[in-house]
Structure formats: structure tokens, C-alpha cells
Amino acid sequence: MNTITVARRFCGPASSSNGGYFAGLVATLASDTLAVRLLKPPPLDTELEVVARGEGAFEVRHGDAVVGEAKHSELRLELPPAVSYFEAVEASRRYTGFNAHRFPTCFVCGTQRPRGDGLRIFAGSIPERAVVAAPWVPDASLDRGDGKIRPEFMAAALDCPGYYALTGDDRMMLLAEFTVHLDRVVHVDESCTVVGWRMSDDGRKHEAGTAIFDEDGEVCGRARALWIEPRTAAA
């Protein structure tokens, strides 16, 4: 039986996993591009059972509850032009999470996470290009042992910028499905930019695309996310 455990460090909300990290951790179980659907908040410091369902699909369970599902998927995205590292630094000054943040201890975008602990990816808008962008230099704590970072950290980095591409007012939205494809794993201390953009809106459902670019403007990873506004948003 396969199991996964999300350490408390990798929270989104204080009591559950960052969605992108969870999806990336699940995706490491298969040599395939997976669409990971989050059905319940993944608990922290808890062993979760991974159950095969045939044809490359599987469930992640906490007791009798299904926390997530994964299945093979094709990821087709039309990427925007790369944003330079300097442009991303300037954009990050406009990060709306500096003014109000629903989950300030989020592993990816939380303003209360110090360097070397959180990813501190603060995506701010570039209005004339209809994207948000942030600089990102992965630190040594993300090393998988060969100077490159673990793939689930790239998936995490691709999560929150999609949210900020969809809203600038800290509204409540839940990550419902996340599909990630990695073109190459980035190195520790490599200067990267993370970009997010709005793809579609349908009532309470919103889709965003995200991508990680290296210093030469080459894409290293990309993702498509479905975000859903709850019928009754939490205060």
C-alpha cells in the first residue's frame, strides 16, 4: 500500500495542505501528467492511503473519506510571453497579499513565512500584459539531493499565482483541480519567474494558467487550475 503525508510546513490554510503541493506530491506517484482533483482539504501530518483505481487513476483516502482523485490528463496551454526577472521583481511590489491575506502562513504565498521556510512567491499584476508575476529563487531546503529541487515544490510554486491572476480582493476561492506538467526541474538558487493569467470564468468557476520561466525565458513548468467560489464564502 502506498501512502503520502503532507508535513505541517507545507500548509495552505493553517490546518490543511497547500493545494498545489498536494497535487505535486500525488503526481510524483506516476510518470505521467495527472489532473488532481481536491475533494476535501488534505490534512497535515497525517498518513493518507493511495488506492489504485485502474487505467492509471487512483484515490487518496483518509480513512473512509476520499481526499483527492487523480487521472491521466493532457495539458494544453497557450503561454504568454516570458516575464523578465526584473519585471517580476517590480510586479511583486504590487502583490495584494501585502495589504490583506486570507492565509498569511501559506507555504507558497504567505507573508508571514520567513526566507528558507516558505516559498515567498508574491505575484503582483502587470496590467498592460494581463498577467501577474513574481520572482522566485528556490532555496537549499527544497533540494532533492542533486542540486535540483523536488518536483512537488515546482507544483506548489505554480499554485497561488493563479489565484492572484483571478482576483485582487482576497475573495474566498478553493482549488478544485490542478494539472501540472514539468518541462524541466529547476536548480537550487536558480533565478526564475512565475507568471499567472486568467483563462476563463463561468459563474462560480474560474480557470487560471501558470508557468515558471528561467532566466533565458524558457518554460520550466506549466499548470492549469480550476478554482471555485463557495456558495457561501467564509468571512
For residue 234, the model assigns a pLDDT of 46
The residue out of 17, 40, 72 marking a domain boundary is 72
- Assess contact for 76 and 46: CB atoms under 8 A: no
Domain membership of residue 106 (yes or no) is: yes
Residue 216: DSSP 8-state: T
pTM: 0.95
The number of domains in the chain is 2
CATH code of residue 151:
3.10.129.10
Cell 506549466 -> residue = 222
Q: What are the cell numbers at 4?
A: 503520502
Backbone angles phi, psi at 165, to 5 degrees: -75, -25
pLDDT of residue 29: 86
Q: 57-62 and 47-54: which strand pairing?
A: antiparallel
Return per-residue pLDDT of the chain as tens, 235 residues. 689 999 999 999 999 999 999 999 999 888 789 999 999 999 999 999 999 888 889 999 999 999 999 999 989 899 999 999 999 999 999 999 999 999 999 999 999 999 999 999 999 999 999 999 999 999 999 999 999 999 999 999 999 999 999 997 888 999 999 999 999 999 999 999 999 999 999 999 999 999 999 999 999 999 999 999 998 754 4
Q: How confident is the model at residue 235, as a pLDDT?
A: 41
pLDDT of residue 1: 62
C-alpha cell at 89: 521583481
Q: Is residue 36 part of a domain?
A: yes
All cell numbers assigned to 184: 524541466
**In terms of residue numbers, what domain contains 217?**
85-228
Structural domain ending residue among the three candidates 37, 72, 107: 72
Do 39 and 109 lie in one domain? The reply is no
My answer on whether 111 and 211 are in the same domain is yes
What distance in Å separates the CA atoms of residue 22 and residue 178, rounded to the nearest whole number?
Answer: 10
Tell me, yes or no, whether 80 lies in a domain. Answer: no
Domain end (from 72, 94, 127): 72
Cell of 225: 487550475
Give the full edge-to-edge strand order of the sheet including 219-228.
Answer: 2-5, 47-54, 57-62, 65-72, 34-38, 174-182, 219-228, 205-213, 192-202, 131-136, 124-126
Shared domain for 160 and 213, answered yes or no, is yes
